[in-house]
Structure 1
Amino acid sequence: MKELKSVEERILDRTLYLIGKQGSVHVPVRTIVKEADVNIGAINYYFGTKENMLQQVKQFYLENLLSTVVPLEDESLEDEEKLKRYAAMSMEYSLRFPGAIALVKDAFETKDQDEMSQKIVEETMLMEEKLNRVMKRYLKDVEDEFSIRKTIFLSSIIYPTLEFNELNGTAFLSEENQRMDYIDKVVKLIRQGV
């Protein structure tokens, strides 16, 4: 994942975070500047307009998202390990940027009006193809249950990061070793069957 090196990237980071918290790309600028701990002039200085900032948030999201796919393409790893590393990176990314799902949803809704949204949709579809290839090899002869097992896998990765808190019992995911143990169990479970 891309590390934050500047005020500009901190604004993008916090905007993506707030998009997730609010479940919408329509986050007020005042909320963004408060969360990023900058003054309102920083938005104008770095981005010119809120719309331009949102385009850069989408670019920032895309650059970081693509890093989660790297394990799926690593031919030195067995398929089980590819899935575990992909899941770990995806969960880490979702915990850091809960806005990812809201941003993808918005991209699918606006892909015909916005070039960056179209790019997010295209990259999301490519990522899906890579995941499907690895999962099909890992699961072998379960074509009739593939969609169910894939849904279980993705839900097990995504849902806990959306509702990450003490109340629903997902607080253990904040510890990397516990998160990896959880992922290990999920990956083995989908192979065993439903």
Structure 2
Amino acid sequence: MNYFIEHKPLNYDGSQLQSLFTYKNFGLKGESIVVFRGSCRVEQNEMVDLEDVLAKDWIYSEDMLHFIVEHFEMDLEKTVIRQRLLMATIKEVLEGQGVKTLMRSGDDLYEDKNKLSVSIATLSPVSSMIHCGLNVSNANTPIPTVGLKNLGIEDVLAFGERVAQRYCTEVQSIRLARCKVRGVC
């Protein structure tokens, strides 16, 4: 598994959650995680989470750190587990930088009742996909939020790269763990 850090701003509107996004846009073929920073505005027509659609919710942040993960397997339950692994990885990296105030609930991170993240896992015609966005700023969000800047994270893309590296290492470690055990009867 490989990762790519996009240094130019890229806004997220939900349309980026598509198969082969990293390959089409950045030339990175295969299982991948791409990290970029930009605003986030997901309207009803791009919503993947039907709970949000039925509640007529929308997602907005002026500044977010985004992760798009693609695995070439078609197992939604495994993808949700990987999504939670990504969220736990983000929390661990933040804790390593001195942020001890976050709580993970399912696929989201909170500081008290202030939400740091949005996240979704889904399937494409050829792969499984995860999007995670972390507020960098909490200005003008439609719900109570906290941002990475509030948590003392100044170099946002460097933080994103640490998360991507750790996620890739964890996935590789899982794959190697499958190869070292013998079957039992």
TM-score (normalised: structure 2) = 0.28
- Which one has the bigger strand percentage? 2
- Which one has the bigger helix percentage? 1
Larger Cα Rg: Structure 1 or Structure 2? 1
TM-score (normalised: structure 1) = 0.27
